[in-house]
Structure 1
Amino acid sequence: MTVAQLRSPPLASPPAIPDLLALARNPSSEARERLLLGVIALCDARPPSGELSPVLTEIFLTLAKQAEREVRKVLSQRLAQADWAPPALINVLALDEIEIARPVLAASPLLQDDDLLRVLVEATLEHQIEIARRPNLGGRVADAIIDRGEPATVTALAFNRTAEISLEGLRRLVEQSRRVAALRGPLTRHPRMTEQLAAQMYQWVGAALRQSICDRFQVDETKLAPLIEQSVYDARSGTLVAIPANDPDRDEMERRLVTKLQASGQLRAGYLVRAIRERRLGLFVYALAALGGFSVAHIREALAARSPEALFYACAAAGVDRAVYPALLTEIRLLNDGLPGDAGAPVWTRGSISATSAARSFRALVEG
């Protein structure tokens, strides 16, 4: 069934429930399309009662569990804001692949805190980010997101001005901003930010954000100057208390996430770009190794090389377009102390290369 077919004109009037039930039990593709159109007609008509009959609930669940991807996607879009839909169906859609789950995660009034907490535990990083962006997110869920400390998810939460973040939760986000630079901007502008927390964060943000803090709060820069100097000294002398770059727990979490994404067919070349833009170099390493069939040690060797050639071949083998590589390389160097270096000619300007040839070239460089 194609997307064009799914956008067929709605029925003139909702069909009878017995007719829909008969279609739900018919496995043919034609019956599936007619069933979908019938369900959409019911969605458009909005049942006046807040409760659905058990028969209609069975129809929805049958459709969601047996229908193909495009059918489930349309259902999620149509039911995203419906307060009369079967809660069991909404929970099924919320745990589906992210393009299907996104509408209900973002808007469904039927998803309770316990439902969202379950998705945080069982679903992908993309699901977690969508929950963090959810309007009027409850305090229990916000606390759970902060507890997990996933950089991309806590950053999305910091941008969510309507989430119920307690003062203690905000304090913990400020503390996490020591290691998660992406948190700093949204926290500086957060409506619940206090002058005390802003003064604390002032010590490790850049000049632009310091000015933003000064413009919003009455921060005495002369009093903070000695603290900033001490922070710089501690960082240079290695005494700053922080989560180490090579955190075994984080490494294991990222490895498991990549394994899960690959097993579900959701790990693609675009994920590499996303990982770097989210400043998650470790996740990039594991994802690139998995996509290219390389060892993690060889990917790290390529990241530390004098030339970006080996890294280019690894990215090309994983499906990254050569036109994207220069910008990706720039962002990687910002996260990796300027490495890989710039020795040698830019091989990505020589023309296209197949994934097989790129993989062979990568192995020749790192194994030779």
Structure 2
Amino acid sequence: MANAEPLELIHEAPRRARDVLARRLADIVGLPSSRLTPRERWIVADLLFDILKASDVTVRQRCARRLAGLVEAPGRLLRVLACDEYEVAEPILEESRALTDFDLLEIVQAGTLQHRMAIARRENISEIISAALVSAGEPPVVECVLKNKTTALAAPTVDRLVGAAQDEVRYAALLIRREELRPAQAFRLFWDCEHAERFQILERFAVDRTILIDSTEDIFPMVSKEGWDDPLVTRVLRYIDRRQRNREAAGLSPYGSLEGAIDAFCVEGAQQELVSEIATLAAIHKRLLLRMIDDMAGEPLAILCKATGLKWTSFQGLWTGLGRPAQDDSVEPARKVYDSLSVEKAQTVLRYWNLTFEDAERR
């Protein structure tokens, strides 16, 4: 990447003629193609490059400002100025439309934090460049990328950021506003969010399944006749099904129902047997229920209660069974979630989570 190295100033006293010549050469380089052939432009750019090597920062700054707005500026000259000291590079990094993705990738790798911040502020950053900026792992740059509404984010980049939000909590609020965020990513992000962000995720992504349910209603009897022996169909229909609870398990349970198991939980606490029983009766993975129990906020348990048709008193039973005070600050946000979600929407969230845990177990 020799062509993108910062210009090294040759030790020489500044001269007025050199400054004027640099300006003239920059003006010539910027002439439209109707007045200057490509070969002539390359020659002039080479001469200007030599002059800039022997010029001070002020001259290089002036040249960079002149070239920043030119669509036909020579790539080599742009790259070396864009990798120069930030005060020289800034106008080219933020304004030049002549920089290609290849150029920007070089600058992302060779530049400083300030260079990457300037690139992150550019309009219409491609998925390739945003991925390179995010991979550097610098929170100020990542936040700038996420705030830039004209930036394109590829799905793998969003996945990476959702994972990074576990350590950088500020990412969550910015990711929620991105159009690229998909339901599976949002519900994974949910666990690392504060109350306000969690509610935003539910408002945006907790949808009902009316069309799915109506369109597949006749398939359930077909699959039942086949003995539910197609694992893939069974998996999809479990997401669509109106029912959440495991009715067969309720008939065999010593507690008689999900409500009965929760009543026992309220008295006995989070005993392993009770946790397993509640997970079975609610038709969810035990590890998912443990994740809900470990979550110190109340929204996940509120979603479980709403999705399974439980009354609010069952949430209170789970909450106090965990040894948490009834007047805890997390109860009010949980009640807000419980009251705002329909059963179908709560089931959508719960089933996305459950599929995630089942997929993780299979891997």
Normalised TM-score (structure 2):
0.50
Structure with greater Cα Rg: 2
RCO higher in 1 or 2 (8 Å CA, sep ≥ 6)?
2
TM-score (norm: length of structure 1): 0.49
